[in-house]
Each structure stands twice: as C-alpha cells, then as structure tokens.
Amino acid sequence: MIPAGWEAVIGLEVHVHLKTRSKLFCGCAVGYGDEPNHHVCPVCLALPGALPVLNAVAVELAIRAGLATHCKIHPRSVYARKNYFYPDLPKGYQISQLDEPLATGGYVEITPEGPAGTEPEVRRIGLTRIHMEEDAGKSIHDDALAGPDVTLIDFNRTSVPLVEIVSEPDLRTPEEVGAYLRSLREILRYVGASDVDMEKGQFRCDVNVSVRRSGDTALGTRREMKNVNSFRAAENGARAEIARQIEELEDGGEIQQSTLRYDVESGRLTTMRLKENADDYRYFPDPDLVPVLLDDARIEEIRGSLPELPDARRERVSEQYGLSDYDARLLTASRPLADFFEETVRLHGDAKTVANWISRDVLAALKEEGSELEESALEPPMLAGLLRLVDESRVTARSARELIPDLVREGGDPEAIVRERGLEAVSDSGELEALADAALEENPRAVASFHDGDGKSLNFLMGQVMKKTGGKADARAVRSLLERKLTGGE
C-alpha cells in the first residue's frame, strides 16, 4: 500500500521481439539458446561495406501491434541512428526511430484488482508511441566461463527486430504495472506480433517511477529500472522504489535522477549510473535506409486481418456460452486456448461441460507437462470424443480424467485407447446387481451402520463396489443401486 498523502506516477517502456524468422536488416536466423555467434553476418556485425535491407514482415507485425493497441499508424516513418558505445553494439549505434515513429497514441485497457469487496475498475492506460528498432547483442558475465573481470559477447541477438511500446505516465500502483504488462502481453500474442516469451528475453521493460504529494499535478523526479523481465519483478521493483523515494522525501532529501538495477533474489535496488540530464544519443536519419511509406489501403488490409481481440472475445464467449466471467477469462487467456475451446464446443455441444474439463483437467495436464496447448498433441476432436464416451456412460469420468495427460502428450483416438486398455465402463445392470449384493453380504457391519443412521457407511460400500469393478462403473449408478437395496426399494 502507498502511504496516505502520496501518489506514485509510473510509465513503462516495453521492448518486444517481433515474431520473425530472420533479423531486421539481414537474412540471419532469429534463434534462442543456440551456440553463441552462430547467427551473424557482415550486416549485423557491421563489417565495412555491408548495407542493411529492411525486413517487410517485421514492419507488418509492428503495424499489427499498433492497430491492436488502437494507435495511429503513420504513412511515413523514418529509421534513425541512435549513437552510443557499448561492447555488444558492434556498429557503435542502434538503428531505431525517433521523430517519425511508426505509430503514436493508442491505449491499453487494464482491470487491476481493487480492495477486497470492491468491483474491479477498468482503466485506460495511454500509449505515447510504438517505434521499431533492432536489438543489441548480449553481454555475458560468467566467472565460470571466462574467469573474473571478463565479459563475453554473443552477437546472435544483434539486429533481432523489436518494437518499443512507450506508455504515458498513467500507472499509479505496482498492481497496475502488472495488470498493464499482462494485458499487453495477451494482446501481442493474440495478434501474432510476438511469442512474448519472457524467459527468452522477448518481453523486457524499463520501469520509470516518481512520487508526489496527493493533489500535486507536477511530475516528480523519476528513476528508471532497466531491463526488467518478469511481471513479479516489475511489480516488486516498483513497490520498493516507491517506498524508497517516499522515505527519502519525508526525511528531507531530494530525488536524484538515476538508472537502477533491481535484484530479484534480494529485492534490493542498486544505482547503475546517475543522470543529471537526458542522454544525448545524437540521433540523425539513417542514410542507408529509405523512409517506410504505407498507404491507407495496406493499413486497412492489415487491420482487417486482425483476429477478435482478447477483451471482445472474452465478453462474447461469456454471453454466447453462458459462462461466468472467471471461466470466460480463463478460457480466452490465449488465442490457441480460446480457439480450442470453441471448436471443442462445436463438436461436443455442451459448453459448460467442455469448459469444466478444460479448466480442471486439460490445463492441469499442460501445467504438469510444462507445455502450452499449441505444443501438445491434444486436439478438439480428441477431447470432444472422450467427453461423448463419458456422456454415453461408456467410460467413467475417473477413467477419462486419467487419459487426459496421455492425450496431451501423445494424442490418439480416445475410443480406441479405451478399448485397448480395457477401460470400458461396467454398465451391465445384472453384473452391477451381483457386485452390489456381494459387497452388502461381505460387509454386514457397514450395512448395520447405515441402518443406524451413519451415512458414511454408504460411501464405504460404494468404494467396495467400485473396487470390484476396477473403478469402471458409474459412481452415481452404484450409489443409486445401493440406496435402493439398503432402503428396500427393490
């Protein structure tokens, strides 16, 4: 909680890798986790005489990101050289955009959780701009690899295409920071602009934090946390910096503009460098790249190709299938999951049944495997077929649940698997009668307890019958049969 009388002002600069197979200005592959310096060429290594050629797919993906966040896409944008010197920047400058970016304006809507017992309030976080740029290489500080005081450089990441999405300073709490990042990540994945895999460094942000007295309109002096790569780190880092700035001001100190590093393990903030003035990157238009010119028809064509966006789909799914807001939010958390749900409903017919099985069993199996739905072998016809077997009492719900992890890993025809494994439900009424009679005869004390009013004994007797069937009988049918026999309802 932010202390009474104070307000935080937070803005984010989010760097997102675009979902391309090759780099922004050359044909080198975009790869993650590969051997260092294997995806490089004269262009991305900035060797003399090498000239950049723009990746058109990257531009289209950046436009999709801009349209999905309600930005104005400009018919002309210009690449500029951002000059600074760092070991992992081979050219001595980064190709980016400044005065004429691809997109400006726009917004992202968030619904952060409020105090307990209050309705969540939708807030609109403005966007300043979205511009394209290339990523730098990666500096590796690993004593085990190279010894102390040695930095290794991997240029595989050099010139991987990025968009930088800059928000207005509209965020007020650490919880809103997390909500904004989650919403933005969801939108970018829905429109296919990026895989947004944070573990691969595809989604990183700089968090700008300042504080001021409640009611003040002037912005305070900000500090910037660099290269934060998780939702939790962004929230906790913002929370720690807000508390630190308030404490300094209440003690009579002044906030000095600086760049910070947040250590996730210790929760500590350390100063990387002080900044009295804005950095002078000496931007100028890149003479090797012509401006990007877009006509309205092309922009509208890309707009028309966008899928239904997350908030709209969530609302429609809730209304169309009669689901709770919670279920609708869960089932539309990603585009592949939402597509899977709707196709399974089309094949099976009962939306609530499908929603229950996906949210309870499919997502649990995916979590256990550590995989995403689109990476699994499970397809809508498989789940729909399995649920039909349950509906027809040809397999018990328990047996069906045990098959879900196998279908996630290996796929297959549920009906054939049930036959091969002998999982067909015991549905013969005569066989169930005989097994129920045997359980009653073998457990007279449980029968007596039932007649004495002990309801738990019925559960015990049900367990005995289910054990005799190997768990392949319908539990409701077994319960009904035992109740009828015990109460003389035959």
41 pLDDT exceeds 50? yes
Domain 429-486 indexed as CATH 3.40.718.10? no
pLDDT top residue among 153 and 279: 153
59 pLDDT exceeds 80? yes
If we measure between CA atoms, which residue out of 177, 227, 233 comes closest to residue 202? 227
Confidence of residue 264 (pLDDT cuts 50, 70, 90): confident
Paired sense of beta strands 80-83 and 284-285, if any: antiparallel
Average pLDDT for residues 291-315, to the nearest whole number?
96
Taking the C-alpha atoms of residue 401 and residue 188, their distance in angstroms, rounded to an integer, is: 33
Q: Give the mean pLDDT of the chain.
A: 90
Using DSSP, state whether 341 is helix, strand or coil. helix
pLDDT digits (tens, 9 = 90+) for 233-245: 999 999 999 999 9
* pTM for the full predicted model: 0.84
pLDDT digits (tens, 9 = 90+) for 465-482: 667 666 666 666 666 667
488 pLDDT exceeds 80? no
pLDDT of residue 316: 97
pLDDT of residue 114: 66
pLDDT digits (tens, 9 = 90+) for 351-376: 999 999 999 999 999 999 988 899 99
pLDDT of residue 164: 98
pLDDT top residue among 133 and 430: 133
Average pLDDT for residues 296-310, to the nearest whole number?
96
Confidence of residue 267 (pLDDT cuts 50, 70, 90): confident
14 pLDDT exceeds 70? yes
Taking the C-alpha atoms of residue 201 and residue 154, their distance in angstroms, rounded to an integer, is: 14
Under a CB-based contact definition with an 8 Å cutoff, are residues 466 and 425 in contact? no
pLDDT digits (tens, 9 = 90+) for 246-261: 999 999 999 999 999 9
Average pLDDT for residues 119-125, to the nearest whole number?
85
Confidence of residue 460 (pLDDT cuts 50, 70, 90): confident
If we measure between CA atoms, which residue out of 259, 260, 245 comes closest to residue 210? 245
pLDDT of residue 438: 76
Taking the C-alpha atoms of residue 98 and residue 91, their distance in angstroms, rounded to an integer, is: 18
428 pLDDT exceeds 70? no
* DSSP E strand boundaries for 35-135: 72-73, 76-77, 80-83, 93-96, 103-104, 107-110, 123-134
pLDDT of residue 69: 98
Average pLDDT for residues 31-57, to the nearest whole number?
95
pLDDT top residue among 141 and 319: 319
Average pLDDT for residues 100-107, to the nearest whole number?
98
Confidence of residue 184 (pLDDT cuts 50, 70, 90): very high
pLDDT cut 70: percent of the chain above it: 91
- The mean-pLDDT minimum among 134-138, 214-218, 229-233, 445-449 falls in 445-449
Q: Any idea where the domains of the chain sit in the sequence?
A: 6-298, 308-420, 429-486
pLDDT top residue among 146 and 224: 224
- H-helix or E-strand containing 437? helix 429-442
Written as six digits, the tokens of 128 are: 């300043």
Average pLDDT for residues 401-430, to the nearest whole number?
82
If we measure between CA atoms, which residue out of 373, 370, 353 comes closest to residue 362? 373
* Helices and strands: H and E segment counts in the chain: 17, 17
113 pLDDT exceeds 80? no
Confidence of residue 219 (pLDDT cuts 50, 70, 90): very high
pLDDT digits (tens, 9 = 90+) for 161-179: 999 999 999 999 999 999 9
Confidence of residue 216 (pLDDT cuts 50, 70, 90): very high
